[in-house]
Amino acid sequence: MTVSDASFNRERPDVYGDAHPKALLRAIQEDGDYLLKLSNEHIVSSDQLCKNTLKQLFRLAAKYESNPTRFSTPLQGKILISAFYEPSTRTRLSFESAWHRLGGDIMSITDRATTGIAKGECLDDVAEMFNNYGDCVVLRDNKEDSINIMMDTLRIPIINAGNGSDEHPTQAMSDLYAIFKWRPDLLEGKPTEDQRITMGIVGRPAKMRTVRSLLKALAVFSDCFKEIVIIHDTSSDDALFSEGQREELEAQGLKLTFSGNLDQELPRLDVTYINAIAWEGDGFETYGSKFNLNASSPLKEDGIILHPLARGDELDKDLDGTPHNWYFSQARGAVFLRMALLTCMVQRAGRVIDVV
Ligand code: CP
């Protein structure tokens, strides 16, 4: 693959190959029920949606991505409450971009200190006010339990946009969307042994919410993966998994193996997922500074790199112009994935699934 092929692929909205829009539409309509079931659902964890629902979401996301200006009004009259109590570039802006692109209005909170929480207001009361002011909430909070507290009071749907070291489900959905955009054949029936892919994940599942959610999402599609290699700092005494996490993933069919040597694994990895931010209490630490990917790394020739970003020293910029760079496509696709999810959650799927 050349660099120009890769650029073409990155921009090409081809999660379903060259499927004619009418074929795409038929596929969405045939299983439209799965999308309609998302109506008013809270999205808290990446394994709460079944395979069919996720596939339908990816199809709708592809429909949006293949014609980004076609649907400018499905969310007209709807208001999003975008509450980010912890820094974010991609998640907040891509959710807000998604909502804007579909014609909705937004109220954005970027600092809890500007709300009544700074004066001791409880989250239940904040949630009660949200019921009056908006139609959907996207919440990022470094406190893991905030989303659960608010859900008890909310009558409008809420999306977990990252809660401490726990989960970041729409990031994982975007990661999967990128993988299936790269390899749409994985969704065409049961993958053969030759089709199944080997994926490496650099990180610590116990403390990285992106990794925790990604592994749960991969487990939903476990028949697409030959092996998942967890690449971690073997000299660390910190727990790699939280209690029961590994057992649950293996029970769902993921074959997990382990390594402390990234370069040794790279030549056989179809997908390398790297991330460095691990959450500890209210703060974060960068993990595994000894792991680095750069243009000289022994990557498989047609292997791709995913990274939820923001990046640090672990991902060199000299990879940006190579065919291995799928992390920018991953970030771009997140807008369309979120457009699809939001449309369904606020009961506007009917306005798009019947339209070519
Ligand atoms: N991927 C991700 O969560 O990035 P942000 O922290 O910028 O939202």
Write out pLDDT tens, residues 79-98: 999 999 999 999 999 999 99
Domain architecture of the chain: domains with CATH = 15-167+333-351 (3.40.50.1370), 169-330 (3.40.50.1370)
Please list the alpha-helical segments (H only) found in the chain: 3-11, 21-30, 32-36, 51-66, 90-101, 123-133, 146-151, 169-182, 209-220, 245-251, 262-265, 327-345, 350-353
Q: Does the Cβ of 82 fall within 6 Å of ligand 1?
A: no
- pLDDT of the residue at 107: 97
CB neighbours of 25 closer than 8 A, spacing ≥ 6?
63, 353, 355, 356
**Confidence at 256, pLDDT banded by 50, 70, 90:** very high
What mean pLDDT do residues 268-286 have? 82
- pLDDT of the residue at 278: 74
Tell me the CA distances in angstroms from 112 to 85, 129, 195, 245, 352, one per residue in order. 6, 15, 47, 31, 35
Distance CA 176, CA 241 (A): 21
Beta bridge partners of 286: 277
Question: Taking Cα atoms as reference points, which of 302, 249, 355 lies closest to residue 22?
Answer: 355
Residue 251 has pLDDT above 70, yes or no: yes
Distance CA 336, CA 174 (A): 9
| Tens digits of residue pLDDT in 135-182 | 999 999 999 999 999 999 999 999 999 999 999 999 999 999 999 999
Distance CA 214, CA 202 (A): 12
- Name the region of 352 (left: φ>0; alpha: ψ -120 to 50; beta: rest): alpha
- pLDDT of the residue at 191: 96
CB neighbours of 290 closer than 8 A, spacing ≥ 6?
233
Ligand 1 mean position, distance from CA 331 (Å): 9
Task: Specify the ligand 1 atom closest to the Cα of 162.
Answer: 3
133, amino acid identity: Y
What is the CB-side half-sphere exposure of residue 120 using CA atoms within 13 A? 0
188-202, 238-252, 278-292: the lowest-pLDDT one: 278-292
Ligand 1 mean position, distance from CA 93 (Å): 9
What mean pLDDT do residues 266-288 have? 82
25-34, 172-181, 184-193, 217-226: the lowest-pLDDT one: 25-34
Task: Specify the ligand 1 atom closest to the Cα of 94.
Answer: 8
Of 91, 95, 210, best ligand 1 pocket probe by most atoms within 8 Å of the beta carbon? 91
Neighbours of 185 (CB within 10 A): 13
Residue 216 has pLDDT above 50, yes or no: yes
Of 85, 86, 139, 171, best ligand 1 pocket probe by most atoms within 8 Å of the beta carbon? 171
- pLDDT of the residue at 33: 84
Three-class DSSP category at 192: coil
Nearest CA to ligand 1 atom 4: 90
pLDDT mean across residues, the chain: 90
Instruction: Give the pTM.
Output: 0.91
- pLDDT of the residue at 24: 59
Distance CA 64, CA 336 (A): 6
| Tens digits of residue pLDDT in 4-48 | 333 333 333 333 444 445 665 666 666 668 998 899 999 999 999
Ligand 1 mean position, distance from CA 87 (Å): 8
Percent over 70 (pLDDT), the chain: 89
Neighbours of 259 (CB within 10 A): 14
**Confidence at 356, pLDDT banded by 50, 70, 90:** low
